[in-house]
Chain A
């Protein structure tokens, strides 16, 4: 039951509890109760919108930043990562395999904003050895959604 609810919410976080109830065949009250449980258990961390920022005509600049860090005895990469995560510019942060250790997604209002964040904040953190900044030029797909859908193909209205 919870799996079905999570599946529906992951596809559309704005789905009504009435629709969830109708789809999975339980009462709305039960759906509300289960969602509350999922939230309390920290399974659901929040609900977010997938924005097509290009359509908004805002000049938001995003960059992927790879960060090399000296791991600490006892804590590994966690302390530095947690510290980096506190910056509001950082929207996502992962520990990765490969040449670098952390991969961030950073958001700013201009190229200068992002550059300043990297040079003044990020690079100066204790343990950060080096960074590589990759500015995002265009986003095609996010969280499973293709942002510019092609025109829908029309089917026959009646068929056997």
Chain B
């Protein structure tokens, strides 16, 4: 690779400008280490429930190896719309208002490409999933960041949102429960966001990928609030709730015009999501509720244990209401997020992700994923405690 003479300036300019993912860099460091306890993952530690895996196997055995409709199997779209209606309180039409994608990431990409003109402003909040800023840049949009802080428990700061809205603002991007903080929105915030979106004629993207992993009473989606259905793109997938990351099935629900535009891009680039994964996803909606609930309860118990653990060690940690991440503060150690994570890995062999991988305001925090076995979590806490004690010496 190093000997390659290909001139960097020939890479498309807007791609050159996108910074490398902070997670990638860390990934390289971890690769070389043995016996690492990893709290650095962004996926469930559970294997996909057997009934779902068995459906994928059956799909292959039955010779279902063809393309499906671009939008995805109609039976799956029906199941999705039914599920979204029952669980999130919005009714969509399977034929025209639902699109099955390769992971929710593709759905987000399609939504961006379908709606953003060069120069349009897209507001999103950090700390956030690594791809949002990059996604906006890839479609020549202008990323506008709201920095959420520990004071609001990393939930959306509505006052800052109001302050960032301009005549060029086209889209507001939401992701609650949030990766990496586990933050959620409350009813008041949802109402306020809806009011603001309607007033300023904003389109709202809501990435609901962690919605099922909620440890308080789950609220309806923002799309269900007055005036919101016609301006919201509901983005979701199977990866987190059903432990199906590798199946790569996501979906988008929204107004027919938006779904049609997204499908136009999807049909020319992806064609369709793999059929065996689609059939597995259908099984997840049919028979996956019970195993999903078991996993959710297990995450909840681990969350309680880990939050207590971090606070006892002296790394202040908010008890998040959703997802499977903690975002403890490491400010009192005096180390930067990157140094903390790097030294913790080198000295105690525990992998966490520096908060800065999720935005500048993640400085002073680390992301710890508790989708690991209880034994591993207990051992990781021990090692982190030792690490912090050693720092004091």
Candidate in A4, A19, A22, A24 with the most chain B CB atoms within 10 angstroms: A22
Residue A23 is within 8 A (CB to CB) of chain B in the complex: yes
Residue A83 is within 8 A (CB to CB) of chain B in the complex: no
Min C-beta distance of A2 to chain B, whole Å: 15
Binds A, one of B11-19, B63-71, B300-308: B300-308
A25:B43 contact, CB within 8 angstroms: no
| Chain B, interface residues (CB within 8 Å), range | 20 to 34
Q: Cβ of A4: which chain B residues have Cβ within 8 Å of it?
A: 297, 301
Query: Scoring A residues 10 to 34 as 1 if CB is less than 8 Å from chain B, else 0, what string do you get?
Result: 0000000001001111000000000
Min C-beta distance of A31 to chain B, whole Å: 13
A23:B304 contact, CB within 8 angstroms: yes
* A127, B341: Cα distance in complex, Å: 72
Q: Cβ of B171: which chain A residues have Cβ within 8 Å of it?
A: none
Which of A19, A23, A159 lies in contact with B40, CB distance below 8 A? A159
B308:A156 contact, CB within 8 angstroms: no
Residue B90 is within 8 A (CB to CB) of chain A in the complex: no
Q: Cβ of B31: which chain A residues have Cβ within 8 Å of it?
A: 157
Min C-beta distance of B355 to chain A, whole Å: 14
A157:B351 contact, CB within 8 angstroms: yes
A157:B27 contact, CB within 8 angstroms: yes
Which of A23, A155, A159, A160 lies in contact with B302, CB distance below 8 A? A23
Min C-beta distance of B199 to chain A, whole Å: 34
A158:B30 contact, CB within 8 angstroms: yes
Query: Scoring B residues 325 to 369 as 1 if CB is less than 8 Å from chain A, else 0, what string do you get?
Result: 000000000000000000000000001010000000000000000
* A7, B26: Cα distance in complex, Å: 38
Instruction: List residues of A (19-51) whose CB comes within 8 Å of B's CBs.
Output: 19, 22-25
Which of A19, A153, A155 lies in contact with B43, CB distance below 8 A? A155
B42:A23 contact, CB within 8 angstroms: no
* A158, B353: Cα distance in complex, Å: 8
Query: Scoring B residues 93 to 110 as 1 if CB is less than 8 Å from chain A, else 0, what string do you get?
Result: 000000000000000000
Instruction: List residues of A (52-85) whose CB comes within 8 Å of B's CBs.
Output: none
A159:B301 contact, CB within 8 angstroms: no
Q: Cβ of A155: which chain B residues have Cβ within 8 Å of it?
A: 38, 41, 43, 45
* A158, B39: Cα distance in complex, Å: 8
Which of A23, A24, A25, A159 lies in contact with B41, CB distance below 8 A? A159
Q: Which residue of B lies closest to A21 (CB)?
A: B305
Min C-beta distance of B313 to chain A, whole Å: 14
Query: Scoring B residues 218 to 244 as 1 if CB is less than 8 Å from chain A, else 0, what string do you get?
Result: 000000000000000000000000000
Q: Cβ of B41: which chain A residues have Cβ within 8 Å of it?
A: 155-159
Q: Cβ of A157: which chain B residues have Cβ within 8 Å of it?
A: 27, 30-31, 36, 38, 40-41, 351
13 CB-based A-B contacts, threshold 8 Å: A19-B374, A22-B305, A22-B309, A155-B43, A156-B41, A157-B38, A158-B23, A158-B38, A158-B40, A158-B351, A159-B43, A160-B21, A160-B130
